Amino acid sequence: MITSFFHDMINPAYMAGFLTLVVIYGVFAVGLNVHWGYTGIFNFGVAAFFAVGAYTTAVLTKQSASGAYQTYIGGYHLPFVVGLLGAGFVCAILAFIIGIPTLRLREDYLAIVTIGVAESLRHVFVNEGWLVNGTRGMIGIPQPLHNLVDTADYRYVYLAIAAFVLLIVYVAVERGIRSPWGRVLRAIREDEMTAEASGKNIFAFKMQAFMLGAFIMGVGGALYAHYVRAITPDTFVPMFATFLIWVMLIVGGSGNNKGAILGALVVWLIWDRTGALVSNSQDPRIFYVRNLLIGVLIVGVILLRPKGILGEEKRVSVYAGKEKERPRPVEEAPDIASAAATEDAVDGG
Amino acid sequence: MAELIVVGLIVGSIIALGAIGLTLVYGILKFANFAHGDLMTLGAYIAFLAFRTGGHLGPLSFGPGMIAAILAAMAFVAVLCVVIDRLVYRPLRRRNANLVILAMASLGMAIILRSVVYLRWGPDTHFYVTGIQQAHNFPLGTKLKPDQMFIGVVAVLSVVLVYLLLYRTKLGRAMRATADNMDLARVSGIDTEHVVVWTWLIGGSLAALAGVLLGIQSHLMPEMGFDFLLPLFSAAILGGVGSPHGALVGAFTVGVSQELSTEWISPAYKPVIAFVLLFAILLVRPQGIFGAKKQ
């Protein structure tokens, strides 16, 4: 049992595929961390950005549609990098549209609306065959640098590409969050009114964070599309494309980018290994045990370990130094709000 | 057209039962219960488990066994809601957790409930009674099956009962006071935890009833309640969160709009219609039709 459980893991080819998905999910988890972990934006529609990012890059990088079973818009045959950035931009625009009515309202309305956007888009992708080939899906999405090495070894190249993208995303978000801009986001999450009283335009900051997170998720969706090369509307069901990412973030520790990536590793390990059990089992219902596990993880982490594995970093200012070296300044109101993002974050994050 | 409106009203009455429970929980406990749709699903399947065929109630496709099954499902889900509250939501309330955290916990519960339904009954569709029922003709070219009339009558009766409970009993007054301001209700001597228990009992049993009626109207499948979540939230927010009669009006609006839309666009877009209504109301009047503007 145990040996079969870990048998695949010592196979380097398998390991490369496994790690590629960890890296891609790491991108999503960091994106969601910008929404939820740092700004308190309650986005339950990650699947919407996942799907739009994946389809956008497919439309941008594939050749134009040909043959009886292929109908889709675009097909511009553009380079991989353009696909990735295009996916991010389209998702940021989508976030802007969703954000207009919802970012001013109470947080849970945004959750309901985003879950609605994700479900509605899935219906559109299924029913509008002309758009992105309906249920037949987009197949043969091109892969970058494919001629560099043998097909068998290409997985290592793609792992390196995906890891490089994650590194860029990670560094960019870390820099953003350690800037004054990032501290305002955390202040908004902790206490909107205090932040507003300090003269911050709450709506503008939230919108920027929402669009940035959506951009990252779009890039994640594009990375996924180029990795699996074939996507259908069924790829973007809420369990796989939204809730799994939420579990990764809260297990790893929201408000912490390292935690988000660690969560992606831990949860994907569970998901992947239970998946292996599923394919070895005679009883197809074991598939649902995996979903049950996701639900139990969400409730369990919230009740028993609300901070996740790593928890939030208390200080994110590059000027603040270590916790014990300098006492908390009392005069700077917004800084208190962000520094207070510690114990309260048990429930807030 | 008239036919679509009638079907819309039937579907609307099912949405209403779910949305009234959702809006009560939303109003009193202040969090969006993402598990409400899956409580409907569970109710439908518990009734399926308890249902014994045999006999016919007048022209209906099922016998008295269905009434027993409905009551069993309502009791089961109502008690389950209280148990879940004790295990999950109350500890979070005691900890003064952010309401968003409660909403997220409810999403976890939704996944758990649905997985249990999948594990016990599998992904295939089920029917309480198989076979085709003869529809009766009504004026304006509308046709209605006896089962659909049963759904309408049961839903209307339940809504009247809930209304009497909320506006004619001491418990109802306590519930409305708690919804207005929990702290103020507590210092006025209202046992708010008691009110919370009753909220779950009412919300849970209504959700179960809605689930069974939905199962009678079409069929049972594990995603039936989750797919209903958007119409439920649309109805509750359209009417104004915390307002039961608002939820009722919202539910009929959503139900009729969904059915009428099939006149022009594919029926596959019914859930999208509910979402478009929700998005529109949030744009123009986020407090809902009957909601008071609050800051």
In tens, the pLDDT along B162-202 reads 999 999 999 999 998 898 888 899 888 888 899 999 999 99
Which one of A112, A239, A287, A307 makes the best mutation probe of the B interface by having the most chain B beta carbons within 10 Å?
Answer: A112
* CB-CB under 8 Å, B96 with A109: no
* A135: chain B residues, CB-CB within 8 Å: none
Q: How far is the C-alpha of A60 from the C-alpha of A53, rounded, in Å?
A: 11
The count of residues in chain B is: 295
Q: How far is the C-alpha of B269 from the C-alpha of A123, rounded, in Å?
A: 7
Q: How far is the C-alpha of B120 from the C-alpha of A17, rounded, in Å?
A: 33
Count Cβ atoms within 10 A of the Cβ of residue B71 and give its class: 0-12 exposed, 13-18 middle, 19 or more buried: middle
Nearest C-alpha neighbor of A111 from the set B103, B223, B8, B253: B103
Q: Provide the b/e sequence for A23-53 (b: ≥16 CB within 10 Å).
A: bbbbbbbbbbbbbbbbbbbbbbbbbbbbbbb
How big is chain A by its Cα radius of gyration, in Å? 21
Closest in A101, A109, A294 to B111, CB measured: A294
Nearest C-alpha neighbor of B241 from the set B89, B34, B28, B98: B28
Provide the residue type at B30 as one letter: K
* Angle formed by the axes of helices B229-239 and A107-127, nearest 10°: 130
Q: How far is the C-alpha of B215 from the C-alpha of B203, rounded, in Å?
A: 18
Which one of B90, B101, B254 makes the best mutation probe of the A interface by having the most chain A beta carbons within 10 Å?
Answer: B101
Q: What DSSP element (H or E) covers B137?
A: strand B136-138
Count Cβ atoms within 10 A of the Cβ of residue B90 and give its class: 0-12 exposed, 13-18 middle, 19 or more buried: middle
**For residue A201, what are the CA distances in angstroms to A72, A184, A206, A335?**
41, 10, 9, 16
**Contact criterion met (CB below 8 Å) for A295 and B84:** no
Tens place of pLDDT per residue across chain A (349 aa): 455 566 677 788 889 999 999 999 999 999 999 999 999 999 999 999 999 999 999 999 988 877 777 888 888 889 999 999 999 999 999 999 999 988 988 788 899 999 999 999 999 999 988 888 888 888 888 888 887 788 888 889 999 999 999 999 999 999 999 898 998 998 888 888 888 888 888 999 999 999 999 999 999 999 999 999 999 999 898 888 999 999 999 999 888 999 999 999 999 998 888 877 766 666 667 778 888 999 999 999 999 988 888 888 766 565 555 544 444 444 444 444 444 444 444 444 3
* Per-residue pLDDT tens over the stretch A45-85: 999 999 999 999 999 998 887 777 788 888 888 999 999 99
Range A11-348 has CATH code 1.10.10? no
**Contact criterion met (CB below 8 Å) for B24 and B207:** no
User: What is the domain partition of chain A in residue ranges?
Assistant: 11-348
Residue of B nearest to A120 (CA): B272
Q: How far is the C-alpha of A126 from the C-alpha of A108, rounded, in Å?
A: 27
* CB-CB under 8 Å, A243 with B230: no
pTM (predicted TM-score):
0.88
Nearest C-alpha neighbor of A109 from the set B200, B241, B207, B243: B241
Q: How far is the C-alpha of A264 from the C-alpha of A262, rounded, in Å?
A: 5
How many other C-beta atoms are found inside a 10 Å radius of the C-beta of residue A253? Answer: 27
* B34: chain A residues, CB-CB within 8 Å: 44, 111
The CB-side HSE value for B289 (13 A sphere, CA atoms) comes to 16
* A113: chain B residues, CB-CB within 8 Å: 278-279, 282
Q: Provide the b/e sequence for A289-317 (b: ≥16 CB within 10 Å).
A: bbbbbbbbbbbebbbeebbbbbbbbbbbe
Phi and psi dihedrals of B144, rounded to 5? -145, 135
How far the first Cα of chain A sits from its last, in Å, is 37
Please give the structure tokens belonging to residue B198: 């009753």
**Contact criterion met (CB below 8 Å) for A163 and A23:** yes
Please give the structure tokens belonging to residue B50: 């308890």
Average pLDDT, rounded, for chain A: 85
Close Cβ partners of A68 (under 8 Å, ≥ 6 residues apart): none
